[in-house]
A and B are shown apart, each in its own frame.
Chain A
Amino acid sequence: MQKTLVTIAVAASLGLGATATHAATLDDVKAKDYVQCGVTGGVPGFSAPDANNVWAGLEVDFCRAVASAVFNDAEKVRYTPLTSQERFAALSAGEIDILSRTTTWTMSRDTDLGISFVGTMYYDGQGFMVRKADGIASALDLSGAAICIESGTTTELNAADYFAANNLEFNTVVFVDQDEVVKAYEDGRCDVYTTDGSALAAERSKLAVPDDHLILPEIISKEPLGPVVRQGDDQWFKINRWVYFALLEAEELGVTQANVDEMLGSDNPAIKRLLGVEGDFGTPLGLTKDWAYHIIKLVGNYGESFERNVGVATPIGLERGLNALWTDGGLQYAAPIR
């Protein structure tokens, strides 16, 4: 209901043309001297306050990368924590410049709300967690198992679809709140807990003995999470898109935060173009020619950000999986900078 209301309000304001015409976000951003970035209220690894009460995470790094490209200063970002109901309205109303808040890219969002998805920072998908002691190895063994699920979510619908498609008996224990779901699973009221893969990993690390639980290999839905900008400002959209591509391109070319200065002397023409040694790809975007150098110097490449925030060395412990570069069998692929 709330969502519908917000959608209507957003649509109405767009129809009136009252607020939607922020023609030059880049100019606004330069004038106010910071990027305003909409984040979650705290999803570990994606955007959450760290031990020093500073925002950190994969999606926070994207905003920092944009600030690096624009200002050569990754700290020129201000964060607005948003609820899932508020997020699109805040973007449409111009309260934030980038929405980087575990937002799933769907067609209706992309086309109805006056917003544009920049790319996919994280390919997520719904998965299942079970107790190792139960000896379940695949989601196809879950017929009749009690599944703890949050009501009224796409999670519930996805699971229903999957069970119907595979002729499995669908047996749910429904809760209104995510915390209740986890608690019920912990207390043994159900055998399976299902939600998005990244959240599943984070919740598992909170359980008493994380190693007693297994995340099944099946991913049953597509949840591409990515940053979003307002529709109708091509320049700002393209800056964001190419910041995203630069993060990927740097990883592909092996340019890291540590070696970026050495790489300035590289003979590889692709690296020369990326770092602005050869050609000038920044100016058409309204940036400087060494825009990507700043990003890598201050934030690092995509792989570094991933490992730092959600990778296997962190308590969240996510594998690259689908989020590996295309050269490593993943889906992350950047258009070439040339």
Chain B
Amino acid sequence: MTMDIGYVRTDFVPAKPAPGRTGGPILWAQKNLFSTPTNALFTVFGILFLLWAVPPLYNFIIGHAVMPGGTVEECRAEGAGACWAYIYARFNFFIYGFYPIEEYWRPNIVFVMLAALIIPLLMPTAPFKRTNALLFFVVFPVVSFYLLSGGVFGMRYVPTEQWGGLMVTLIISLVGIICSIPLGILLALGRQSKLPIIKTLCVLFIELWRAVPLITVLFMASIMLPLFMPAGTTVDKLLRALVGVTLFSSAYLAETVRGGLQALPRGQFEAGASLGLGYWKRTYFIILPQALKHVIPGIVNNFIALFKDTSLVSIVGIFDLLNTVQSASSDIEWASPTQAVTGYVFAASMFWMFCFAMSRYSLWMEHRLDTGHKR
């Protein structure tokens, strides 16, 4: 028996044209670059701008540049690009400043120690955190100080005037960052304190340092301070800058941390108190972990600013990275039209490298610590 199965098609459905593309570069471009006339206009201008800007930039930095090993005559030639040969030739000066050449192994050991200690410290999964932190915050500064300045174990004494370059930039920013964290937190807590003297002192300190430009602080420290000190006593110039930068940065940090403290609901303080925790335990176990987490972007922002601000020490005659670059740009042996520009490009890229690394690390840390507060 055959049933009428009229609802079953007996013929094939004719093939339809393929559906419109939902992917591919052309559609992507249509959707993202030319979706509206305004967007199309911006795209065209953007492309024109790139065509205008990129080739000369490429030619300057790579195409027509004089690579390491080149001579000053090539750099002086008409139309020569960046003079990397000059950066290569003076590279040691940019890294170590006036540090005696035969003693370079000392800063080198410090650089290696720094890398060996700071990388595991920054990796949450690395073991031996406590030992690592102890080594980094206590042993490392002492060892590197004696290594760099010498005068012990038969090592030649190298006064701080001879320190320079990237070495000094890193010293100032590391000391500034590490010392300003505890100071800043204490100041922030002090400002919220109920004890009037502590509170007033903290407010005065913070407002004073925030109200003066860093240049003024450094200028005061290097020019005025010696005039007020008794004759014959001199405080090391680098130390003065270190203290100035640290105090300045701690005042800013204090306000950032205070922002985090204020973001915490009052209940957190009270809950801590109701558990019978004293002020310090409450602060250490309950308040700070939450408050600091809130303000990681702000704190890192401070650190990046501090890192870049270290270049201001050049106005008091300390040879940081930027100042060595500036000073070498008057080096007559490498005198060429692009000498100064190349130096600045180099300095900028060094600064960028460090600042970008810091900002990436903080972003990663934020995500790691993100325990349900993200909006």
A residues contacting B by CB (< 8 A) are 2, 6, 9-10, 12-13, 18-22, 28, 41-45, 48-49, 51-55, 78-83, 85-86, 89-90, 92-95, 179, 186, 202, 205-209, 314-316
- Residue numbers in A under 8 Å from B219 (CB-CB): 2, 85
Docked Cα-Cα span, A179 to B332, in Å, equals: 15
Interface flags, B58-96, vs A, CB<8A=1, else 0: 000000000000000000101000000000011011001
Question: Residue A21 contacts which of B76, B228, B231, B339 (CB distance < 8 angstroms)?
Answer: B231
| B105-113, B178-186, B253-261, B319-327 - the one binding chain A | B319-327
Interface size on B, residues (CB 8 A): 44
- Residue numbers in A under 8 Å from B159 (CB-CB): 78
In the assembled complex, B223 has its CB within 8 A of some CB on chain A: yes
Residue among B227, B234, B323 with most chain A CB within 10 A: B227
| 10 A-B pairs with the lowest CB-CB distances in the bound complex, closest first | A93-B226, A42-B327, A206-B335, A44-B332, A13-B227, A81-B317, A315-B332, A89-B223, A42-B330, A19-B231
Q: Are the C-beta atoms of B330 and A208 separated by less than 8 Å? A: no
Q: Are the C-beta atoms of B76 and A208 separated by less than 8 Å? A: yes
In the assembled complex, B230 has its CB within 8 A of some CB on chain A: yes
Q: Are the C-beta atoms of A315 and B101 separated by less than 8 Å? A: no
Interface flags, B336-366, vs A, CB<8A=1, else 0: 1101100000000000000000000000000
Question: Residue B92 contacts which of A53, A78, A85, A94 (CB distance < 8 angstroms)?
Answer: A53
Residue among B228, B316, B319, B330 with most chain A CB within 10 A: B330
- Residue numbers in B under 8 Å from A206 (CB-CB): 332, 335-337, 339
- Residue numbers in B under 8 Å from A2 (CB-CB): 219
Q: Please report whether the interface of chain B is mostly helix, strand, loop or mixed according to DSSP.
A: helix
In the assembled complex, B161 has its CB within 8 A of some CB on chain A: yes
Docked Cα-Cα span, A155 to B340, in Å, equals: 23
In the assembled complex, B97 has its CB within 8 A of some CB on chain A: yes
Q: Are the C-beta atoms of A79 and B227 separated by less than 8 Å? A: no
In the assembled complex, B328 has its CB within 8 A of some CB on chain A: yes
Least Cβ distance of B149 to chain A in Å? 13
Docked Cα-Cα span, A87 to B117, in Å, equals: 40
In the assembled complex, B23 has its CB within 8 A of some CB on chain A: no
Q: Are the C-beta atoms of A86 and B340 separated by less than 8 Å? A: no
In the assembled complex, B333 has its CB within 8 A of some CB on chain A: yes
Known: A21-B231, A80-B317. 16 other contacts (CB 8 A): A6-B223, A13-B228, A41-B323, A42-B327, A42-B330, A44-B331, A49-B327, A53-B97, A53-B98, A55-B98, A85-B219, A86-B223, A89-B224, A205-B335, A208-B76, A209-B78
Given A45-B332, A51-B333, A208-B76, does the pair A95, B227 have CB atoms closer than 8 Å? no
- Residue numbers in B under 8 Å from A86 (CB-CB): 222-223, 316-317
Closest to A55 in B: B98
Q: Are the C-beta atoms of B230 and A205 separated by less than 8 Å? A: no
- Residue numbers in A under 8 Å from B161 (CB-CB): 78-81
Q: Which of B196-231 contact A (CB under 8 A)?
A: 219, 222-224, 226-231
Question: Residue A53 contacts which of B93, B330, B340 (CB distance < 8 angstroms)?
Answer: B93
10 contacts between A and B (CB under 8 A): A13-B228, A42-B330, A48-B330, A49-B93, A51-B331, A81-B317, A81-B319, A89-B223, A186-B337, A206-B332
Given A53-B98, A86-B316, A208-B337, does the pair A314, B227 have CB atoms closer than 8 Å? no
B residues contacting A by CB (< 8 A) are 76, 78, 89-90, 92-93, 96-99, 101, 159, 161, 219, 222-224, 226-232, 234, 237, 314-317, 319, 323, 326-328, 330-333, 335-337, 339-340
Given A51-B89, A207-B337, does the pair A95, B226 have CB atoms closer than 8 Å? yes
Docked Cα-Cα span, A41 to B97, in Å, equals: 12
Least Cβ distance of B54 to chain A in Å? 23
Q: Are the C-beta atoms of A18 and B323 separated by less than 8 Å? A: no
Q: Are the C-beta atoms of A42 and B326 separated by less than 8 Å? A: yes
- Residue numbers in B under 8 Å from A316 (CB-CB): 332
- Residue numbers in A under 8 Å from B337 (CB-CB): 186, 206-208
Q: Are the C-beta atoms of A314 and B332 separated by less than 8 Å? A: yes
- Residue numbers in B under 8 Å from A41 (CB-CB): 314, 317, 323, 326-327
Docked Cα-Cα span, A54 to B159, in Å, equals: 14
- Residue numbers in B under 8 Å from A93 (CB-CB): 226-227, 229, 234
- Residue numbers in B under 8 Å from A51 (CB-CB): 89-90, 331, 333
- Residue numbers in B under 8 Å from A208 (CB-CB): 76, 78, 336-337
Least Cβ distance of B322 to chain A in Å? 11
Q: Are the C-beta atoms of A9 and B231 separated by less than 8 Å? A: no
Given A18-B228, A93-B226, does the pair A43, B317 have CB atoms closer than 8 Å? no
Q: Are the C-beta atoms of B101 and A52 separated by less than 8 Å? A: yes
Q: Are the C-beta atoms of B93 and A18 separated by less than 8 Å? A: no
Least Cβ distance of B76 to chain A in Å? 7
- Residue numbers in A under 8 Å from B224 (CB-CB): 9, 89
Docked Cα-Cα span, A86 to B215, in Å, equals: 13
Q: Are the C-beta atoms of B335 and A83 separated by less than 8 Å? A: no
Least Cβ distance of B227 to chain A in Å? 4
Q: Are the C-beta atoms of B226 and A90 separated by less than 8 Å? A: yes
